[in-house]
Copies of this chain bind each other. A is one copy, B any other.
Amino acid sequence: MEVTGEESTKELRSRERILATAVVLFARQGFDRTGMRELARAADVNLAMINYFFGTKKKLLAEILDTFFSEYLTIARVELTGDGDVFLRLEKFISRTIYFFAARRDYLVVALTDLNHNDPDVLEYKAMWGRQMVEIVEQNVCGALGVTVTPKVMTPLLTSMMASRFLFSPVVEKISAGEADLPDFETYAQTVVAVFLHGVVPGSDSSHASV
């Protein structure tokens, strides 16, 4: 068939339907707790189609992770590199990343939870992406900021801060239905920017001056 046309033939749709369904299920119930039959049923394809298109379940996961990490890394490269003001660059990076996390929340959850265990294979894969991320932060942020925090501490720290809203959201929403809910992403992005750059207390430089 050769797929010379660009979209919507039935075969292409199956592949993408599997992919889209897999992200949702993996995020909701985890990679291991999601069976091939369950995924096939949810994506409305035959069981064998998953192995036909992706080979193995692990390779299906790998494709999801590649999508997420490459896009995340692109944002970091675009927003963090350059000669502009470091604070402005950080502000833009954090803001764009949070919007990215919001748009691809399921990808984020899969990447940070399913990936968080340490098969030697998976560990090497994670290190590959982490290395590039740390490198960008090291060469474009740490020096320009003139801080003592090392890039290997700062990178996970900032990533955790930006992601926490999305990783904890199911719990937080469950805590109190109706009451004051989570802020929109615009507000949340500003919060993370503010805390990361200036700390929780907004107006002060806060060397112990409370109550």
> Which residue numbers of A lie inside 8 Å of B, CB to CB?
28-30, 32-33, 85-88, 109, 113, 116-119, 123-124, 126-127, 130-131, 134, 144-150, 152-154, 156-157, 159-161, 163-165, 167-168, 170-172, 174-176, 180-183, 188, 191-192, 195-202, 204-208, 210-211
A interface SS class: helix
Tell me whether A88 and B149 are in contact in the complex, defined as CB-CB below 8 angstroms, given that A32-B30, A113-B117, A124-B174 are known contacts. Answer: no
Could you name 22 residue pairs across A and B whose Cβ atoms are closer than 8 Å?
Answer: A28-B118, A30-B117, A32-B33, A85-B208, A85-B211, A113-B116, A116-B167, A123-B171, A123-B174, A124-B174, A126-B170, A130-B175, A131-B176, A147-B200, A148-B202, A152-B181, A153-B165, A153-B182, A153-B188, A156-B172, A159-B168, A199-B199
